[in-house]
Amino acid sequence: MGSKIKKILSFITGLFLMIFFSFIYSCSPSGILATGGGTAMVVAEGDRSLGTVVDDATIKVNISAKFLDAGNNLFININTTVLEGRVLLTGLVNNQEERIEAVRLVWEVEGITEIINEIEIGNRESIKDYANDLWINTQAKGLAAKTIGLRSVGYNFETIKGKIYVAGITSKPDQLEELVNALKTIKGVKEIINYVIIKE
């Protein structure tokens, strides 16, 4: 039950942030916010402009609403990361039908250009496995902050059965390589799956 409440709160927070950013963006003269123009959100969101962040936030909220309406725990079991219309799905579901249903629902959301389906079938066999994934994910976020500083907030980490999925956008491939090498040093990591978009 705690997991469900946490995801609902996360959904509400995402909705609030989307509305907040939309309001700030529309109220800023010529859409300029603090640092100006296309790099307005560079510290908080990697190499994405504010407009892109708001569009991705809208997509994420709409996907969450679809999963909530589905009523078969998709909202609780599946995590979504949205970057410039590309959607990364991770998590664990009970069967292939739920995996297919999740993808079908996501395609119904406007603005999606690609779906990367990394949903696995099965469950975490014990509380120990879940705690291990949680520990690895916490270590990944900490190492990212230590390795690349504030730019680490532009990345999303999700750990399933010892595999770390990394998503984000960067214009610094050398920093990404440094980050991936750092993640490999975390005890218990079986694989690092890199879905980071490199922009010129």
Tens of pLDDT, residue by residue over 4-36, are: 555 665 666 555 555 544 443 333 333 322 222
Does residue 30 share a domain with residue 64? Answer: yes
Same domain, 107 and 42: yes
Exposed, middle or buried, 13 (CB in 10 Å: 0-12/13-18/19+)?
A: exposed
My answer on whether 131 and 190 are in the same domain is yes
Cβ-based burial of 167 (10 A; exposed 0-12, middle 13-18, buried ≥19): buried
Tokens of 13: 């927070």
Sign of CA dihedral 72, 75, 76, 80: positive
Rounded CA-CA distance 179/140 in Å is 9
Instruction: Tell me: do 113 and 140 sit in the same domain.
Output: no
> Both 134 and 114 in a single domain?
no
- Digit-coded pLDDT (tens) for 152-178: 877 889 898 899 999 888 888 999 999
My answer on whether 13 and 92 are in the same domain is yes
Q: For 4, how many CA atoms within 13 A lie in the half-sphere containing its CB?
A: 7
State the CATH number of the domain containing residue 99.
Answer: 3.30.300
Q: Which of 94, 121, 148 is the C-terminal boundary of a domain?
A: 121
Distances (CA, A) of 87 to 56, 62, 100, 102: 9, 12, 15, 12
pTM over cut 0.75: no
pLDDT at 43 over 50: no
Which structural domain, as residue segments, surrounds residue 21?
2-121
Tokens matching residue 76 = 């609780």
**Count of the separate structural domains present in the chain:** 2
Domain's final residue, options 87, 121, 155: 121
Q: Are 181 and 173 within 8 A, CB to CB? A: no
Residue 191's pLDDT band (cuts 50, 70, 90): very high
Q: What is the DSSP letter of 172?
A: -
CA distance 23 to 164: 34
CB of 158 closer than 8 Å to CB of 90: yes
Do residues 75 and 26 both lie within one domain?
Answer: yes
What sign results for the dihedral spanned by CA atoms 112, 117, 122, 126? negative
Residues 96 and 66 in one domain: yes
Is the pLDDT score of 138 beyond 90? yes
Question: Please, which pLDDT band fits residue 145 given cuts at 50, 70 and 90?
Answer: very high
Same domain, 102 and 136: no
**For 69-108, how does the pLDDT look when each residue is reduced to its tens digit (9 = 90+)?**
988 888 888 999 998 889 999 998 888 889 889 999 999 9
Picking from 121, 138, 171, the residue at the C-terminal end of a domain is 121
pLDDT at 21: 45
DSSP state letter for 84: T
106 and 39 inside one domain: yes
Say whether both 94 and 152 belong to one domain: no
- pLDDT at residue 48, rounded to an integer: 59
Confidence band for 66, pLDDT divided at 50, 70 and 90: very high
Helix residue ranges per DSSP H, 28-126: 50-70, 74-77, 96-107
- The domain that holds 190 is classified in CATH as 3.30.300.130
**15 and 112, same structural domain?**
yes
